[in-house]
Chains A and B, each alone.
Chain A
Amino acid sequence: MSGQTVPADFSGHMLDLDEDEDLEVFSKNISLEDGNPMPNSPGSMVNQYRLEDDEEQQDPNTKDLFITVDKPESHVTAIETFIMYRVITKTTRGEFDSSEYEVRRRYQDFMWLRSRLEENHPTLIVHPLPEKFVMKGMMDRFNNDFIETRRRALHRFLNKISEHPILSYSECLKVFLTAEDLTAHRKQGAGFLSRMGETMKAVANSVRGLKSRPEEFTVMQEYVEDFGNKMSSVDRVAQRIAKEQREYLDELKQYGPTYTQWAGFEEELGDPLKGVASCVDRCSKETEEQVCHLSEVLIPTLHEYVLCSETLKAVMRRRDNIQAEFEAKNEALISRKADQETLQEEVDGLADRLEQANNALKGDWSYWKNSMTTDLKSAFISTAEKNVDYYEKYIAVAVGFLTCTHVCHDKFGVCVNI
């Protein structure tokens, strides 16, 4: 049975029958024998979100959902051309009918998935997608590097979702991974109008202002602002390094041949010159790999966390809106004498909703922080290792060269101390 009990976002969706898939889940008969206590009362749902520290991430040993994104292919229709990615799922989870699925998805489909996840879990931190538009100059959507970069990011996105203790049990994720044709499902889901309604409410509430934001969320807000700035800075530095390395590589490619060309006109010196040439060539090769590594590992990770900071800001905003709505209704309750009962019920509902939202955020916040630490730590470690590897390989070639010439050193009486 699905381990998910997503408290439907009551505001605006309470009467929205389009949320049938969530309501379906909500009313499913969940057996306690599964070992998954699936409470379906708001009160007990609160406990769901008090995640223990060591349960915050899915233990890799118990990972039971494996997703890959690959094989980007051009798809041509009468109206447009776009890229389809292959999404392969392997799972042992019971709620999936089969253990393997293969579907094709386009970027828009990923966008759909993500917006559904955000709608259903407004105060959970949903990993960002790669950017929709191409920012830089000449590159177009069909450039191979761009497609590959996007593919990796989409792969990472789905893996992040599949590792998330709550999101990975989302029904829309299951639909995304398994449905042959997603377009039918995409038509369902929060209507445009209800989304509009929510946005209007949010604007109205923010104009009103919050009475008092709990301290911990203010701290979070400040952190989120700073984090965004720092990530942007680090991202810029990494990109600058990659640029400098590329320029260095260009010059190296011109430098090596000067030794080889000279060697052609020398007798005794020919071999030592060629030896140095091969050192420089090796340096070139390794620098190229260094640049690749930076572009494929560190920079994408940093970039994702730059995008994450926007996600975090949105989450904070949504939480604030939920609080604002509650406060608005609460004030109305206090000031109005009529409709006390109805209002009271509404206020209670909103109060519960606020509490759930806050707890969801608190729980997910530490999950996210751990995840962020792990990802960035891993990316930096990998970069450091790559750099060590670079120097080690270069040393090997240089030592090889020295060993060769050392054999002839007696001829010239040259002594070498390494």
Chain B
Amino acid sequence: MVEEGSTLLRRMEICVAEAEKRSGKNAVNMQETFTVYLIETRPMDAVAEGRNPAPDSLWRRYSEFELLRNYLIVTYPYVVVPPLPEKRAEFVWHKLSADNMDPDFVERRRVGLENFLLRVASHPVLSNDKILYYFLTEEDGWKEAVYETGFQAKADSRLRALSATFRVRNPDKRFMEMKHYSDELQSHTSQLLRARARVADRLYGVYKVHGNYGRVFSEWSAIEKEMGDGLQSAGHHMDAYAASIDDILEEEEHYADQLKEYLSYAEALRAVCRKHELNQFELEMASQDLISKKQQREELATGIVRTFSFKGMTNKLFGQEAPEQREARLKLLEELIAEGEETVKDKTIECEEHVERAWVDMQRFKEQKDKDLQEALINYAVMQISMCKKGIQVWGNAKECFLKM
């Protein structure tokens, strides 16, 4: 998947091996229970050579992963940053616990966190980040290092800027299309996930209700001489049928998790497009500002008023100002214009660089998405086939029992 450069993942084997419960005091000095995850790393060359060194390891909690991700989003605004597994259980069907401490949820989160690290560590740009490296290798002091980068301030200002509504005159069409696509992706994956959860809930009901056959056949077989044995064993198969749905639906949760990853990815994609809009807007604003300042200079220099201004009016009414004052004003304007031109130059570069890099990463993302989701869909079909095979076996056995009745 990665052509150039050697990403972190090539040099280092990474996994999230375990999860554990811990107790501690939180930010408001209250006792709380939380889960920590063990990150293990080993140098790849050692593994390749067949040596089996003990891995380095450290413990991290979910909030630290969140911190890392926020840092990456702000630092690399042109990258579609891989998402974390969901903070809270969404699209829950009745049996699945919405409790963050539930062991199944924790296990699926562990897998999701590992997946996040693997994706980040194999990304051509993100994998070279130092903070990422410290996250994987330095248990203490990492948080301080992150905050020292000053990303928080950037994060806050970007958030403010993005939450304001603004109108962009000439956004890159491809980015607008991509943004529209990200909305569609988000909408459709969430509809699919919601519908799937409801189907899972109903299917669970169908299978479990068959368990009643087991009980009822058993009672009935007690009063029948000829049919008794056949009924009794058919009942056992019905119990097996009812029990089989648990594993089937647990496996399906992995499928749902794959879709959830791309639901979150849609948001990351959208963020890149929004950053473009922001860049473009700021560039347009800076350009606009520069133009108006230049116009002001022209008016001041030539005395010709092209645009209405209060100063112009007062000049007309009360007479022109003194030449010294005019000189001072002109000088200030020249400075502002020089600054403005720098700003426009910087913003233009920023905008173009972002567009160029983002486009590359969005293409990379698209290919990854198509591959991953096709694989997920295929796995889903394979799961369905496996479920059907179990069903055929159970009902075939039940039929044999009925025949013996």
- Neighbouring A residues of B388 by C-beta, 8 Å: 391-392, 394-395, 398
Measured between C-beta atoms, what is the minimum distance from B389 to chain A in Å?
A: 7
Near B by CB (< 8 A), chain A positions 245-288 give: 245, 247-248, 250-252, 254-255, 258-259, 261-262, 265-269, 272-273, 275-276, 279, 283
Expressed in whole angstroms, the Cα–Cα distance for A414 and B379 within the complex equals 10
Q: Which residue of the partner chain, among A262, A380, A399, contacts B385 with CB atoms under 8 Å? A: A399
- Neighbouring A residues of B288 by C-beta, 8 Å: none
Contact A395 B198 (CB under 8 A): no
Contact A405 B374 (CB under 8 A): yes
B104 interfacial contact with A, CB 8 Å: no
- Neighbouring B residues of A248 by C-beta, 8 Å: 199, 202-203, 205-206
- Neighbouring A residues of B402 by C-beta, 8 Å: 377, 380-381, 384
In this complex, the member of A373, A380, A409 whose beta carbon has the largest number of chain B beta carbons within 10 angstroms is A380
Measured between C-beta atoms, what is the minimum distance from B200 to chain A in Å?
A: 9
Q: Which residue of the partner chain, among A272, A279, A390, A412, contacts B384 with CB atoms under 8 Å? A: A279
Which of B55-63, B80-88, B208-216, B302-310 lies at the interface?
Answer: B208-216
Expressed in whole angstroms, the Cα–Cα distance for A409 and B188 within the complex equals 24
Measured between C-beta atoms, what is the minimum distance from A255 to chain B in Å?
A: 4
- Neighbouring B residues of A240 by C-beta, 8 Å: 209, 212
Expressed in whole angstroms, the Cα–Cα distance for A373 and B220 within the complex equals 13
Contact B385 A398 (CB under 8 A): yes
Give per-residue flags for B381-405: 1 if the beta carbon is below 8 A from chain A beta carbons, else 0.
1101100110110011011001101
B227 interfacial contact with A, CB 8 Å: yes
In the complex, the chain B residue whose C-beta lies closest to that of A400 is B381
- Neighbouring B residues of A267 by C-beta, 8 Å: 370
- Neighbouring B residues of A387 by C-beta, 8 Å: 391, 395
Near B by CB (< 8 A), chain A positions 97-112 give: none
Which of A3-11, A72-80, A226-234 lies at the interface?
Answer: A226-234
- Neighbouring B residues of A283 by C-beta, 8 Å: 384
Measured between C-beta atoms, what is the minimum distance from B383 to chain A in Å?
A: 9
Contact A392 B223 (CB under 8 A): no
Measured between C-beta atoms, what is the minimum distance from A36 to chain B in Å?
A: 31
- Neighbouring A residues of B369 by C-beta, 8 Å: 269
Contact A237 B399 (CB under 8 A): no
Expressed in whole angstroms, the Cα–Cα distance for A384 and B377 within the complex equals 30
Expressed in whole angstroms, the Cα–Cα distance for A109 and B403 within the complex equals 37
- Neighbouring A residues of B210 by C-beta, 8 Å: 241
Contact B223 A276 (CB under 8 A): no
B321 interfacial contact with A, CB 8 Å: no
Give per-residue flags for B227-240: 1 if the beta carbon is below 8 A from chain A beta carbons, else 0.
10010001000000
In the complex, the chain B residue whose C-beta lies closest to that of A413 is B371
Contact B378 A405 (CB under 8 A): yes
- Neighbouring B residues of A25 by C-beta, 8 Å: none
Q: Which residue of the partner chain, among B201, B234, B378, B384, contacts A380 with CB atoms under 8 Å? A: B234
B342 interfacial contact with A, CB 8 Å: no
Contact A388 B396 (CB under 8 A): yes
A15 interfacial contact with B, CB 8 Å: no
Contact A241 B209 (CB under 8 A): yes
Contact B202 A247 (CB under 8 A): yes
Expressed in whole angstroms, the Cα–Cα distance for A268 and B181 within the complex equals 14
Contact B398 A384 (CB under 8 A): yes
Measured between C-beta atoms, what is the minimum distance from A381 to chain B in Å?
A: 5
Contact B395 A269 (CB under 8 A): no
In the complex, the chain B residue whose C-beta lies closest to that of A234 is B216
B67 interfacial contact with A, CB 8 Å: no
B185 interfacial contact with A, CB 8 Å: yes
- Neighbouring A residues of B188 by C-beta, 8 Å: 258, 261-262, 265
Q: Which residue of the partner chain, among A237, A255, A273, contacts B196 with CB atoms under 8 Å? A: A255
Contact A384 B395 (CB under 8 A): yes
Measured between C-beta atoms, what is the minimum distance from A299 to chain B in Å?
A: 13
Expressed in whole angstroms, the Cα–Cα distance for A230 and B382 within the complex equals 40
Measured between C-beta atoms, what is the minimum distance from A3 to chain B in Å?
A: 29
Contact B195 A244 (CB under 8 A): no
Contacts A261-B188, A273-B377, A384-B399 given; indicate if A373 touches B405 (C-beta within 8 A).
yes
Measured between C-beta atoms, what is the minimum distance from A345 to chain B in Å?
A: 42
Contacts A251-B199, A258-B191 given; indicate if A388 touches B378 (C-beta within 8 A).
no
Contact B399 A244 (CB under 8 A): no
Contact A275 B206 (CB under 8 A): no
Contacts A237-B216, A245-B206, A251-B202 given; indicate if A412 touches B191 (C-beta within 8 A).
no
Contact A416 B378 (CB under 8 A): yes
Contact B226 A373 (CB under 8 A): yes
Contact B370 A401 (CB under 8 A): no
- 3 closest Cβ pairs, A-B complex: A262-B188, A384-B399, A248-B202
Between-chain CB contacts (< 8 Å), 22 pairs? A230-B219, A237-B212, A241-B210, A244-B202, A248-B202, A254-B195, A258-B195, A261-B188, A265-B181, A268-B374, A377-B227, A384-B395, A388-B392, A390-B391, A391-B388, A391-B389, A398-B382, A399-B385, A402-B378, A405-B374, A412-B374, A414-B374
User: Could you tell me which B residues sit within 8 Å of A by CB distance?
Assistant: 181, 184-185, 188-189, 191-192, 195-196, 198-199, 201-203, 205-206, 209-210, 212-213, 216-217, 219-220, 223, 226-227, 230, 234, 369-371, 373-375, 377-378, 380-382, 384-385, 388-389, 391-392, 395-396, 398-399, 402-403, 405
User: Could you tell me which A residues sit within 8 Å of B by CB distance?
Assistant: 223, 226-227, 230, 233-234, 237, 240-241, 244-245, 247-248, 250-252, 254-255, 258-259, 261-262, 265-269, 272-273, 275-276, 279, 283, 373, 376-377, 380-381, 384-385, 387-388, 390-392, 394-395, 398-399, 401-402, 405, 408-409, 412-414, 416, 418
**Other than the known A384-B399, A412-B371, what 13 A-B pairs have Cβ atoms closer than 8 Å?**
A233-B216, A237-B209, A241-B206, A248-B205, A255-B196, A255-B198, A258-B195, A385-B395, A392-B388, A395-B392, A398-B388, A402-B378, A413-B371
